[in-house]
Amino acid sequence: MIPYTYSLHKIGHTDNFGFNADDYSRFKFGDDKVAKSFGKELANGFIKDFLEDSNINEQIVVISSPYCFIPTATFAMKNYFVYQLNHWLAENNRLVVQEAKIHRTITYKEDYGELNAEDRLKLIGNDSFHIDKDFLKEKVLFFLDDIKITGSHEKMILKMVKEYGLINDVFMLYFAELINNEIHPNIENYLNYHCIKNVFDLDEVIKSGNFCFNTRIVKYILNCDFNTFKIFLECQNDGFVQDLYNLSLGNSYHLIESYNENFDFLKNYIINKNYKFI
């Protein structure tokens, strides 16, 4: 099995990414409007550059980047990628997409985007990925991610594919890919935080009407300074606070020591709010 890799944007220079860096930053912190734009662009690019001339008639399964309970930013992009791809598939009398999930077992607080290739592989190497092998039988697999920097995630996915004995045709699809080895992998963090410099910068995204939670934003909020966290929380509506708590629990962030102070405040904040309401 030799995977086919496709990326819409090739990053060869730090002064020209091929996409708007502020948009990418908002996307990583939950801007669903940008996720929609990115997903449609990726689908259209892949259709034009590959699918139009391909003879793929088997069932396609689209698989977003691995997650535990809280989806990654890629999950939102995946939704719109699938919608756009399905339009083309249906118009060309091909089977519309099915979806599957890669389950991951370990969560960590480290900011993956600031690490070099060796440290990324070391960190993610402690993780394990799981997928429904039987569901994938005789289907074409599209593994979707937002960006490829060092290929560590791809190595882990292909390791999983090998361990499960999957003989499917495999496609690795990315919105962007770093192709210049002279650029340090922490360029990913430069993009991630291009317009989000502190937790209060999240307000524009959260209150835009196009917000969806993802792993990054939950970790970022829980990891901020305690006094800042308190002020930020008091500026949010009850629905946001409740979602933040439920998602944090779902990803077992209450068990991460460095989040304890903020998480306990979050929990008590909700309890006190409910008590006052009663």
Give the distance from CA 183 to its chain's centroid.
Answer: 22
Q: What is the pTM of this model?
A: 0.92
Please list, in sequence order, all residues whose beta carbon lies within 8 angstroms of the beta carbon of residue 179, skipping any fewer than 6 positions away.
Answer: 10, 11, 12
Q: What is the pLDDT of residue 105?
A: 78
Q: What is the pLDDT of residue 110?
A: 60
Q: Are 232 and 223 in contact (CB under 8 A)?
A: no
Count the neighbouring beta carbons within 10 Å of the beta carbon of residue 47: 17
Tokens found for residue 166:
């999957």
Which fold, 4-192?
Answer: Rossmann fold (3.40.50)
Q: What is the pLDDT of residue 6?
A: 98
Half-sphere exposure of 55 (CA within 13 A, CB side): 0
Q: Are 66 and 251 in contact (CB under 8 A)?
A: no
The mean pLDDT values, 10 residues at a time, for the chain of 278 residues are 91 95 98 98 98 95 96 98 98 97 76 61 72 97 97 93 96 98 95 97 97 98 98 96 97 96 97 63
Q: What is the pLDDT of residue 278?
A: 40
Q: Which residues pair with 31 in a beta bridge?
A: 211
Domain boundaries, the chain: 4-192, 199-277
Q: Is 22 exposed, middle or buried (0-12, 13-18, 19+ CB in 10 A)?
A: middle
Q: What is the pLDDT of residue 272?
A: 87
